[in-house]
Amino acid sequence: MRPAVVINDPALSASQPIAELAQSASNALGHAIEGPMTSLANPVATLAALHAARLIGWGFDGRAVDDAARDALALGALLGGYVIGSTGYGLHHVLSQTLARFAGVGHGPANAIMLPESVRALHDRAPGWYFAAFTDALGAEPEEFAARLRDLGGIPTLREAGVSEAQLEQCVSEARSARSCR
């Protein structure tokens, strides 16, 4: 099901403690980076993705996360949501949603843990211009920025998130079939 209307309060959306805010930003950045590479990609979604990356990059640019940064992060997340709503899920969310569903990893931590890995995989599949534009918009190398968000999120590995080898094997099987995101 998809909502017909979304009501967003930017101040509330970005009011989380830094660890949870970094996890949420990982989710939004995942939306932005994968959306323009799905089969439903379109020019408007690509522009929204690049602007979302610009806002998220500015929000976590290494300085204190003040009210202005939180506002930028909230708008970046909203734009990332538009992107994924327009283009559908891609690799990053298949992996993250599968971990949430079958291994019990929280939504935010799953996105933060997987983002550096999925960005690396998507980088190999993306047109050259896209990652150059995404890097410029983000203000950093996407893989490094994703790793910084993961570390700020406080749960850097699947093992630290409590994922067992058996759960990981099940997630691999489920992600291959992509049933977790249907």
Choose among 82, 79, 78, 65: nearest CA to 15: 65
Q: What is the pLDDT confidence band of residue 9, given thresholds at 50, 70 and 90?
A: confident
Entry pTM: 0.91
3-state secondary structure (DSSP) of residue 93: helix
Question: Looking at the domain assignment, is residue 52 inside a domain?
Answer: yes
> Would the pLDDT of 180 be above 50?
no
Give the chain's domain count.
1
Among the residue ranges 3-7, 26-30, 36-40, 94-98, the one predicted with the least confidence is 3-7
Task: Print the domain residue range for 146.
Answer: 16-181
Choose among 152, 83, 80, 165: nearest CA to 112: 152
Contact yes or no for 97/182 (Cβ under 8 A): no
Question: Looking at the domain assignment, is residue 10 inside a domain?
Answer: no
Question: Looking at the domain assignment, is residue 5 inside a domain?
Answer: no
Question: Looking at the domain assignment, is residue 48 inside a domain?
Answer: yes
Span 43-58, pLDDT tens digits? 999 999 999 999 999 9
Question: Looking at the domain assignment, is residue 9 inside a domain?
Answer: no
Triad 25, 70, 79: Cα angle to 5°: 55
> Would the pLDDT of 61 be above 80?
yes
Provide the mean pLDDT of the chain.
Answer: 92
Question: Can you give the CATH number for the domain in which 114 is found?
Answer: 1.20.1090.10
Q: How many CB atoms lie within 10 A of CB 32?
A: 33
Q: What is the pLDDT confidence band of residue 181, given thresholds at 50, 70 and 90?
A: very low
Question: Looking at the domain assignment, is residue 3 inside a domain?
Answer: no
Question: Looking at the domain assignment, is residue 79 inside a domain?
Answer: yes
Cα dihedral 138, 143, 149, 150, rounded to 10, equals: 160
Helices assigned H by DSSP within the chain: 10-13, 18-34, 43-59, 67-87, 91-103, 107-125, 128-138, 142-152, 165-177
Question: Looking at the domain assignment, is residue 1 inside a domain?
Answer: no
The pLDDT, as a whole number, for residue 12 is: 84
Residue 3 CA to its chain's centroid (Å): 20
